[in-house]
Amino acid sequence: MGFIWFWIVALMLVAYVILDGFDLGVGILHPLVARTETERRMMFSSIGPVWDGNEVWLIAAGGTLFFAFPLLYASAFSGFYLPLMIVLWLIILRGLSVELRSHIQMDVWKSFFDGLFFFSSSLLAIFLGAALANVVRGVPLGPDGYFFLPLWTNWQPGPSPGILDWYTVIGGVLALVALAIHGACYLIVKTEGELQQRARGFVLMAWGVLLVITVLSLFATTYVRPDTLDNYKLHPAGYLIPLLVLASLLGIFYFTRKQQERRAFAASCTFLATMMAGAAYALYPTLLPAVGTAGHSITVSEALSGSHTLHVGLVWWSFGTLLAVLYFVVVYRMFRGKVSLDSGYGH
């Protein structure tokens, strides 16, 4: 059951990154590719019916983590209290920017919320990437399973790290660039005309940056935590994951140049999914690695709930997830096609 629930949580986090990731990407690109008020409205309309639903997967992942691995939930949510509060406020600010922008038809009002949309989306991407890098790097867990991380210390991923160091900054920049490209691929699918062309141009321009940062992050990970390669050495089939990462990266560039927009977006989804799958594959069965000689990592077996709880929960989780999937199928089917400003939905 531990293996099953580990990958259930990982799957839900992947779903959140892919779905809410393009919302964040649209926010990051908002001041970069939109030139007119019509184009800015088009960008908001492209995510309007789905952005809040996409965030459900983050809430569901947190709830599942609390249910299946309560020790990890208690430890992580206490140690990561500061960044979690920052993320919470950024999510609130992003929601306000989407919902309030069109309530008053004043240029200064719209400009303020446009800036807020870009600011909150960009920082959310950076903090989410840094959060994953913190988990991969490890935290200074005490004997009681708890820890505290300041925002930064000496910028080194040593025995007393901060939330931000050179390694987690690489993770944050990687997330920022990857989600910006993901959002651009989504805009290419949902829009037409000059806005679509500028989004396509951004993908082709930023793709090389993403390739460099991805390779850099892989080398940095093996330097900071050499044991991340242990599972790959024990089970060489796992090397298919980095091969899929490379193939999806090449697919983003190739399909974008060939103007095969849906395939380019699918390649971007595959890239995000395989990057996260690679991190999960490297960590298992560790849920939260410890740094320092006195630390003790939290593993699946230690953090797992009781057997009866997990079996009953699997039934209800399956039922709830099925309802959520059906909802998303209906919404995205209604929203298929290019964005129309007349209705805000696809056609």
Q: What is the pLDDT of residues 136-177, one digit of tens each?
A: 999 988 887 788 888 888 898 888 888 899 999 999 999 999
Q: Is residue 342 part of a domain?
A: no
Q: Is residue 301 part of a domain?
A: yes
Q: Is residue 347 part of a domain?
A: no
Q: Is residue 344 part of a domain?
A: no
The number of distinct structural domains making up the chain is: 1
Could you give the count of Cα atoms lying within 13 Å of 179 in the half-sphere of its Cβ? 31
Phi, psi dihedral angles at 67 (to 5 degrees): -75, -45
Most confident of the ranges 34-43, 70-79, 142-151: 34-43
| Residue 341 pLDDT | 66
Q: Which parts of 101-192 fold into alpha helices (H)?
A: 107-137, 166-190
Q: Is residue 339 part of a domain?
A: no
| Residue 223 pLDDT | 93
Q: How far apart are CA 38 and CA 245, in angstroms?
A: 36
- Are 16 and 58 spatial neighbours (Cβ–Cβ below 8 Å)? yes
Between residues 344 and 128, the one the model is more confident about? 128
Query: Model confidence at 346, in pLDDT bands (50, 70, 90)?
Result: very low
| Structural domain boundaries enclosing 307 | 2-334
Tens-digit pLDDT profile for residues 80-89:
888 889 999 9
Residue 297: which CATH number?
1.20.1630.10
Does residue 129 have a pLDDT over 90? Answer: yes
Q: How far is CA 243 from CA 5, 110, 247, 274, 278, in A?
A: 26, 44, 6, 9, 10
